[in-house]
Amino acid sequence: MDKALKIINKMKKEGLFSTYAIGGGIAALFYIEPVTTFDLDIFIIMPDEQSKQLLSLSPVYTWLDKHGYKPQKEQVLIEGVPVQFIPVYNDLVKSAVIDSIDKKYGQTATRVLRPEYLIAIMLQAYRPKDRDRLLKFFEESDYSEERLHSILVKHNLKEAYNNFWRQYYGK
């Protein structure tokens, strides 16, 4: 994954996207015990000049193709790692990417969503795998309850959080 992250950092440096952060199952690995995941989710914010136009990932895929990385369904195999580029699709995910934190994977600098945002995104999506990961996050991760509360209120997820706690913890 180290090599794939170096390519992603190069893409950012070349301006294909303004910033990025690792999300999904790989991001969870920075905070909880390993979970099953099949790809590297890269949430991206496109350059400002594209924000007024219909969003297109064409420049990203053109660059990847030019450098020998071919799409396979919704992913691109980069140095042996299936990577999915996901443009920020709502205010919560955009805030999560903007407020992401610097981490190292091996010797490579990268950005990763904070655990509080991962929790909020899982509450918003609420797929079966999200419910399982939420249980692990609440038991294993070192997250800020204050930051989480602020995010939940800002993005209207407090009720989803309360419902989850009632369902799984009886509170």
Question: What are the pLDDT digits (tens) for 70-118?
Answer: 998 889 999 999 999 999 999 999 999 999 999 999 999 999 999 999 9
Per the structure, the complete domain to which residue 86 belongs is given by 2-113
Q: Which residues contact 131 (CB under 8 A, 6 or more apart)?
A: 122, 164, 168
* Coil, strand or helix at 112: strand
Please state the rounded mean pLDDT for residues 26-35. Answer: 90
| pLDDT for residue 136 | 94
> Rounded to an integer, what distance in angstroms lies between the CA atom of residue 159 and that of residue 123?
10
Average pLDDT over the chain, rounded to whole?
93
Mark whether 85 and 137 lie in a shared domain. no
Residue 10 has pLDDT above 70, yes or no: yes
Q: How many CB atoms lie within 10 A of CB 75?
A: 16
Indicate the pTM of the whole model.
0.92
The span from the CA of 71 to the CA of 57, in Å, is 12
11 shares its domain with 87: yes
Q: Are residues 58 and 135 in the same domain?
A: no
Crossing angle of helices 115-125 and 158-169, rounded to 10°: 80
Q: What is the CATH number of the domain that holds 17?
A: 3.30.460
Q: Which of 30-39, 75-84, 133-142 has the lowest mean pLDDT?
A: 30-39
Please determine, for residue 53, whether its predicted confidence score (pLDDT) is greater than 70.
no
Residues 26 and 60 in one domain: yes
Mean pLDDT of 17-26: 95
Q: What is the pLDDT of residue 55?
A: 75
Number of domains composing the chain: 2
Whether residues 57 and 82 share a domain: the answer is yes
60/97 same-domain check: yes
Residues 82 and 13 grouped into a single domain: yes
